[in-house]
């Protein structure tokens, strides 16, 4: 009886292994073969850029051109000369930079968060904010003050070369912290700060409404493709604000295979494929980042997966984890390649317009596959990937396959730095293969110097005083500077009483004191 029981147990174990092994073999790839995903990635999208604009990465040498769909992160410095930039902060919130401006991303927002901090070093920015959390900590700081946004609206902040900061509430409510107290501005009001103190101002709102930067802002908010409300029938709440943009650039179709809507792009040509029309850029933390030149290239190349339909071509499957790129890599000798990652976390191999479902990619990625992008190692950092791909890669490769590696290389490949000169004459270190607009003076390799993070001249004592003020007033829902002051377009101008006070003095000047005066706009 006991022998029979042992035989039954052994038979059950064998049968179990028979069923387990195929199931295990059909699972996703091991974690070390899958590109890194970041559920809480704090990343900002460059939505629009024109003219001369640059980013300096934290912990990295050189300047890189700001282009559309480039990711920027905490610690990055953004600079414009004869150029303007629009950043997308998520939740329908945008930041626009004027010519000759410079800022630092101090805190970047996580997905669906409105907790961010921007440090304006010089120049002008416009904040176009449509959604803020009730307890938001969205803020901009300058050497003169710290600005917290109480409600959605449109705000302009100018930091002048003379050292003054002007805060204008074009629409909405904002709270400005100085050394000794806080001032709340409502629609049509403005304030001039210097060194943490309120000063008299003769500037009026109309002066900042009619310039070229304001026209740039108004031009950017026009158009049917601009999302004005958050809501989606096809994407979940993490990416719902992208649906209007994507619907303008492609069509949706419900797929019972994935139990969700999939998206086909419009008008990109029969030879188009994901992760081809763009370039790779390097980040010291995230490694290789894909920067797409395609419409809707941001969301479709950092979230979700791609797949191939023999009749309709490439389509995008929504996903809600951010990654530098959802591709799998192969390389050998002097060549590198990558292929889009499918919904099953396996590379999508397409040969002669046919998806090879059972292709064993672990034997290598086929260079003849149309879905596999192959470039020489010297071109991996080029800004013209689509012009440099090759199918005939020479006899130094074995059987027209590149060894499968899964994740991207973890080291920089061929990234020489050159001395460069910006349009204004500033000499900088420029990444040779990552810059398209910048004029480089010659091709002599430059000595590489570690970039030192530049900080605005904000005194530590000034920061500590403002911190104390914020702790004393935990809520930002306060009354405007003067709710009874006539038209909403009448600016509030603060006049400093008496002689200038030391920044270390107590907070005796409170909102509503006699030192505050509203000056009517001159005719």
What DSSP string runs through 331-392?
Answer: EETTEEEEEEB-TTSSB--EETTEE-TT--GGG-EETT-TT-EEEEGGGTT-S-HHHH--S-
> What are the φ/ψ torsions at residue 206 (nearest 5 degrees)?
-60, -30
Determine the Cα–Cα distance for residues 376 and 398; give it in Å rounded to an integer: 15
Determine the Cα–Cα distance for residues 158 and 174; give it in Å rounded to an integer: 15
Those residues with Cβ within 8 angstroms of residue 69's Cβ, 6 or more apart along the chain or in another chain: 45, 46, 47, 278, 291, 292, 293, 297, 298, 301
pLDDT of residue 384: 83
**Residue 43 confidence (pLDDT) above 50:** yes
Confidence of residue 223 (pLDDT cuts 50, 70, 90): low
- Answer yes or no: are the C-beta atoms of 444 and 418 closer than 8 Å: yes
Percent of residues in the chain assigned helix, strand, coil, to nearest 5: 15, 35, 50
> Residues 355-374: what's their mean pLDDT?
93
pLDDT of residue 282: 86
**Residue 40 confidence (pLDDT) above 70:** yes
> Residues 121-131: what's their mean pLDDT?
96
Which residue segment(s) compose the domain that 279 sits in?
A: 240-406
The larger pLDDT score, comparing residue 257 to residue 455, is at: 257
For residue 521, CA distances in Å to 166, 203, 204 come to: 16, 9, 7
Q: Is residue 263 part of a domain?
A: yes
Q: Is residue 341 part of a domain?
A: yes
Using a 10 angstrom Cβ sphere, with 0-12 exposed, 13-18 middle and 19 or more buried, the burial of residue 358 is: exposed
Which residue, among 456, 459, 462, 463, has the nearest Cα to 102 in the 3D structure?
456
Q: Is residue 303 part of a domain?
A: yes
Q: Please tell me whether residue 25 adopts helix, strand or coil conformation.
A: helix
Which residue, among 204, 168, 166, has the nearest Cα to 186 in the 3D structure?
168
Q: Give the model confidence (pLDDT) of 412-457 as tens digits.
A: 776 666 666 666 666 676 665 555 444 444 333 334 344 444 444 4
Determine the Cα–Cα distance for residues 333 and 422; give it in Å rounded to an integer: 37
Burial of 463-497, coded b for 16+ CB within 10 Å and e otherwise, reads eebbeebbeeeeebeeebbbeebeeeebbbbbeee
Confidence of residue 348 (pLDDT cuts 50, 70, 90): very high
**Residue 351 confidence (pLDDT) above 90:** yes
- Identify the residue whose tokens are 């209007």: 244
The larger pLDDT score, comparing residue 457 to residue 95, is at: 95
Confidence of residue 513 (pLDDT cuts 50, 70, 90): very low
pLDDT of residue 423: 64
Determine the Cα–Cα distance for residues 452 and 466; give it in Å rounded to an integer: 26
The larger pLDDT score, comparing residue 147 to residue 411, is at: 147
Return the top range by mean pLDDT from 51-60, 299-308, 473-482. 299-308
- Answer yes or no: are the C-beta atoms of 223 and 233 closer than 8 Å: no
Which residue, among 74, 75, 60, has the nearest Cα to 449 in the 3D structure?
60
**Residue 509 confidence (pLDDT) above 60:** no
Using a 10 angstrom Cβ sphere, with 0-12 exposed, 13-18 middle and 19 or more buried, the burial of residue 424 is: exposed
Q: Is residue 383 part of a domain?
A: yes
Q: Please tell me whether residue 107 adopts helix, strand or coil conformation.
A: strand
Average pLDDT of the chain?
77
**Residue 216 confidence (pLDDT) above 50:** yes
Q: Rounded to 10 degrees, what is the CA torsion of 435, 438, 443, 449?
A: -70
Token pair recorded at residue 213:
């930067």
> Residues 508-523: what's their mean pLDDT?
32
**Residue 237 confidence (pLDDT) above 60:** yes
pLDDT of residue 448: 38
pLDDT of residue 257: 95
CA angle (173 as vertex; 86, 225 as ends), nearest 5: 35
> Residues 194-222: what's their mean pLDDT?
76
pLDDT of residue 18: 31
For strands 313-317 and 305-309, give the pairing.
Answer: antiparallel
Count of the separate structural domains present in the chain? 1
For residue 189, CA distances in Å to 192, 454, 520 come to: 11, 32, 11
Determine the Cα–Cα distance for residues 324 and 331; give it in Å rounded to an integer: 19
Determine the Cα–Cα distance for residues 424 and 406; give it in Å rounded to an integer: 43
Q: Is residue 416 part of a domain?
A: no
For residue 348, CA distances in Å to 275, 299, 381 come to: 12, 19, 23
Lowest-confidence segment of 68-82, 205-219, 246-260, 323-337 by average pLDDT: 205-219
Determine the Cα–Cα distance for residues 457 and 159; give it in Å rounded to an integer: 12
Q: Is residue 483 part of a domain?
A: no
Q: Is residue 297 part of a domain?
A: yes
- DSSP codes joined into one string, 165-191: EEEEEEES-EEEE-SS-EEEE-TTEEE
Q: Is residue 283 part of a domain?
A: yes
The larger pLDDT score, comparing residue 444 to residue 63, is at: 63
Q: In sequence order, what E strands does 400-450 have?
A: 401-402, 404-406, 417-421, 427-431
Confidence of residue 64 (pLDDT cuts 50, 70, 90): confident
């Amino acid at each position: 009886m006991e022998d029979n029981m042992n035989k039954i147990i052994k038979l059950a174990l064998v049968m179990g292994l028979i069923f387990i092994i195929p199931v295990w073999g059909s699972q996703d790839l091991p974690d070390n073969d899958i590109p890194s995903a970041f559920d809480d990635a704090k990343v900002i999208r460059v939505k629009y850029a024109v003219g001369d604009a640059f980013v300096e990465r934290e912990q990295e040498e050189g300047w890189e051109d700001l282009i559309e769909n480039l990711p920027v992160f905490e610690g990055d410095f953004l600079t414009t000369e004869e150029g303007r930039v629009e950043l997308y902060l998520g939740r329908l919130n945008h930041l626009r930079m004027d010519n000759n401006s410079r800022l630092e991303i101090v805190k970047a927002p996580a997905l669906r968060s409105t907790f961010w901090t921007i440090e304006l070093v010089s120049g002008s920015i416009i904040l176009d904010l449509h959604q803020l959390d009730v307890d938001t900590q969205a803020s901009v700081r300058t050497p003169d003050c710290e600005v917290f946004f109480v409600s959605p609206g449109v705000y302009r902040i100018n930091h002048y070369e003379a050292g003054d900061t002007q805060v204008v509430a074009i629409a909405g409510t904002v709270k400005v912290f100085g050394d000794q107290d806080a001032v709340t501005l409502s629609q049509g009001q403005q304030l001039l700060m210097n060194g943490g103190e309120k000063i008299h101002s003769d500037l009026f709102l109309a002066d900042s409404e009619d310039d070229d930067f304001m026209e740039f802002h108004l031009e950017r908010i026009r158009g049917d493709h601009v999302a004005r409300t958050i809501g989606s029938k096809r994407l979940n709440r993490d990416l719902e604000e992208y649906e209007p943009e994507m619907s303008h650039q492609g069509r949706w179709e419900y797929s019972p295979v994935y139990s969700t809507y999939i998206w086909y792009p419009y008008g990109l040509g029969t030879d188009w494929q994901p992760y081809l029309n763009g370039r790779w850029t390097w980040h010291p933390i995230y490694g290789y980042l894909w920067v797409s030149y395609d419409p809707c290239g941001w969301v479709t190349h950092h979230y979700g997966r791609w797949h191939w339909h023999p009749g309709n071509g490439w389509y995008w499957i929504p996903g809600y984890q951010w990654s530098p790129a959802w591709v799998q890599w192969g390389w050998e000798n002097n060549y590198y390649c990558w292929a889009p990652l499918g919904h099953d976390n396996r590379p999508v191999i397409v040969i002669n317009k046919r998806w090879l479902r059972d292709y064993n990619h672990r034997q290598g990625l086929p260079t003849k596959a149309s879905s596999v992008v192959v470039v020489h190692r010297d071109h991996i950092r080029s800004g013209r990937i689509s012009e440099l791909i090759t199918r005939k890669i020479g006899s130094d490769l074995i059987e027209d396959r590149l060894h499968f590696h899964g994740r991207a290389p973890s080291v920089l490949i061929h990234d020489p730095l050159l001395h460069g000169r910006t349009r204004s004459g500033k000499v900088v270190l420029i990444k040779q293969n990552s810059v398209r607009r910048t004029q480089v003076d010659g091709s002599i390799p430059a000595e590489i110097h570690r970039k030192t993070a530049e900080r605005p001249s904000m005194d530590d004592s000034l920061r500590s005083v403002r911190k104390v003020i914020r702790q004393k007033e935990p809520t930002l829902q306060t009354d405007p500077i003067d709710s009874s002051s006539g038209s909403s377009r009448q600016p509030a101008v603060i006049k400093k009483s008496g002689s200038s006070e030391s920044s270390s003095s107590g907070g005796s000047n409170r909102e509503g004191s006699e030192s505050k005066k509203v000056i009517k706009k001159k005719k």
